[in-house]
Structure 1
């Protein structure tokens, strides 16, 4: 494993703000709130390069020592990120019994963002910082909490990265030690956590997503996509984390292929009046890709999460294209996929893929 890694401060583009993942620029297990101070300030429309650190390999049940943990999987010490080592050794106030697992980079103040506006975070690019990742199942969570893990401890499955015949990057996984056959699957890097600060003065747990975004785990948020978030505090106080190399809808084992990313992001403020004109009143996060508008629904009950997503989709179709509720409901049933984002983060997530091309020429 001698593929170059992206260490802090290395190979950065000129003229763009950079935010490393350090103890002073990150939270571990909590999300920003109104009482937090920004670690970076941007103007609307600015881009920034952010480093993120995966929690896999640094957690307490993995020894909180990434050099030792990854060495057991054949990773040379120089291939372990120094910021991961520093974060694992820092954060003395972290309470693993009370806090979540995720390392979150931020918060970022975006000038002009006010409650009622939308913050649009556009993914310009993701770069892999390491050539490996981990998929874990632990502490009775996942889609089958009464059945897995089968033993007392966490199960952490190591996954590598290789280049396919067409040049595309693939994840690799050996089904058992010494196996000659290897499972291969395409990589689609994205950030599982993208969010804005809540208006409360207590930091939320990093696991359950909500109106603030957070741990939404929508795997469509790859390069070229955007996420719209209702601003709750002045400046938005945006943050990102939970980097993935790949994830299937549902994320059933608890984590997917978790591994550190460097992300180039653009932050834009959409004023309330313009936001309502384009999308109506958003109750929660809305994603956008070149093909889809992606409203979301979230609840501890998956049935309710589906219902909330359908309601959000009907409202979006009405606000954006002037569809009456009956025709919007019918169109969604005929042409829109409702996908399970994840079922493992206490609050379950559902997202709809509304094809933009279907509505071309339709107007209010």
Structure 2
């Protein structure tokens, strides 16, 4: 695996089409809505490679100067992404009321209509830089007002490398020893346009997806989202190299990814076979079905997730609701996706192997 800087559009492009992050193809801090015009159109079942861009290193509190900011960590100007420099230098506004995310899209998918489901297969995720950041800012995270300590935000610079053939990074203790942890890249933000012409902020996730920050949406997995507008109007951003459930600092290990995705429209019986009547995000990995629940209250997010997991089991396998609840209590794992995005997330891990003998 190479850890060279992957500049926009350079190198192998695995998808049928390429979408790079430019001032014309991104919004900064806001999501596409029903009034947005697509910057690309793909056929259902088509693949697209997207050069996503992390917001870390280009934000106002980092000087909106990626060359200067990254230079403070020993990164040469030639190792700074060209799209980071272009977007930071553009006239796109990004103020304190805006979200931080650079959102690439939207992409219209031919034939998608309200009531359908968009299936997003994650085919490839390729690191674009050999470094990233975990950020902790005052007033945010799981411990606002407690951490970070001191007057300044904390930007933890992380190098990326290999250990035992696995992509890893390190964070050090005060005595110089370092914890080595594995990297499992995923896109923290994948969504479809909600049926509104009102501005849609990028931070809180919802039934449209968006900033769901579910770490299991990795290569080989699929995300199912309910379509609310013609064309679905898919978008993505907030690339991560690694994240612990909860994302307690505020960010995970954030860095830019080249993502290749397949976008497929599911309608009628095909959509129902995938997610039943659920009209909120569902992740599917090789080993798990992963329904979700979201709310500003973590308690309510948990309740939503339990109800959605029950609905999935009742509709997919014919459980009654009481038996589905019993199964989830005995065998389902409920995990906190994140607690830092205003709307908190919980997801449920339902093992596929438990149903291997199902007929």
TM-score, scaled to structure 2? 0.97
Q: Give the stretch that moved more between structures: 267-276 or 187-196.
A: 267-276
Q: Please say if residues 225 and 279 of structure 2, whose CA atoms lie closer than 8 Å, have aligned partners that are also in contact.
A: no
- 2:270 corresponds in structure 1 to 274
- 1:142 corresponds in structure 2 to 141
Give the SS at the match of 1:136: strand
Task: Tell me how far 1:77 sits from its aligned partner.
Answer: 1.2
Task: Tell me how far 1:256 sits from its aligned partner.
Answer: 0.8
- 1:52 corresponds in structure 2 to 52
Q: Please say if residues 123 and 265 of structure 1, whose CA atoms lie closer than 8 Å, have aligned partners that are also in contact.
A: yes
- 2:297 corresponds in structure 1 to 301
Mapped to 2, the partners of 1:270 and 1:191 lie a distance apart of: 22
1:169 to 154, 163, 167: 167
1:313 to 309, 318, 343: 309
Task: Tell me how far 1:162 sits from its aligned partner.
Answer: 1.4
Mapped to 2, the partners of 1:192 and 1:125 lie a distance apart of: 15
For the pair 1:34 / 2:64, whether they are aligned, the reply is no
- 1:23 corresponds in structure 2 to 23
1:202 to 180, 198, 202: 198
Mapped to 2, the partners of 1:210 and 1:348 lie a distance apart of: 10
Structure 1, residues 97-117: CA drift from partner, whole Å, max 9, x if none?
221000011000000100000
Change (3 A) 1:319 1:14: closer
- 1:109 corresponds in structure 2 to 108
Q: Please say if residues 28 and 91 of structure 1, whose CA atoms lie closer than 8 Å, have aligned partners that are also in contact.
A: no
1:330 to 326, 339, 345: 326
Change (3 A) 1:14 1:334: closer
Q: Please say if residues 15 and 49 of structure 2, whose CA atoms lie closer than 8 Å, have aligned partners that are also in contact.
A: no
Change (3 A) 1:156 1:267: same
2:225 to 218, 229, 243: 229
User: Number of residues paired by the alignment?
Assistant: 358
Mapped to 2, the partners of 1:360 and 1:43 lie a distance apart of: 33
Structure 1, residues 288-340: CA drift from partner, whole Å, max 9, x if none?
00000000000010010000000000000011111111111000000010000
Task: Tell me how far 1:153 sits from its aligned partner.
Answer: 2.6
For the pair 1:125 / 2:121, whether they are aligned, the reply is no
| Structure 1 stretches of 4+ moved >4 Å | none
Give the SS at the match of 1:234: coil
Structure 1, residues 123-165: CA drift from partner, whole Å, max 9, x if none?
001000000000001131100012012223321110111110x
Q: Please say if residues 244 and 259 of structure 1, whose CA atoms lie closer than 8 Å, have aligned partners that are also in contact.
A: yes
Give the SS at the match of 1:333: helix
Task: Tell me how far 1:14 sits from its aligned partner.
Answer: 6.4
Mapped to 2, the partners of 1:223 and 1:188 lie a distance apart of: 9
Task: Tell me how far 1:279 sits from its aligned partner.
Answer: 2.2
- 2:11 corresponds in structure 1 to 11
Task: Tell me how far 1:203 sits from its aligned partner.
Answer: 2.8
Task: Tell me how far 1:3 sits from its aligned partner.
Answer: 4.6
For the pair 1:186 / 2:186, whether they are aligned, the reply is no
Give the SS at the match of 1:313: helix
Structure 1: 5+ residue runs without aligned partners?
A: none
Q: Please say if residues 42 and 110 of structure 1, whose CA atoms lie closer than 8 Å, have aligned partners that are also in contact.
A: yes
TM-score, scaled to structure 1? 0.96
2:210 to 187, 210, 214: 214
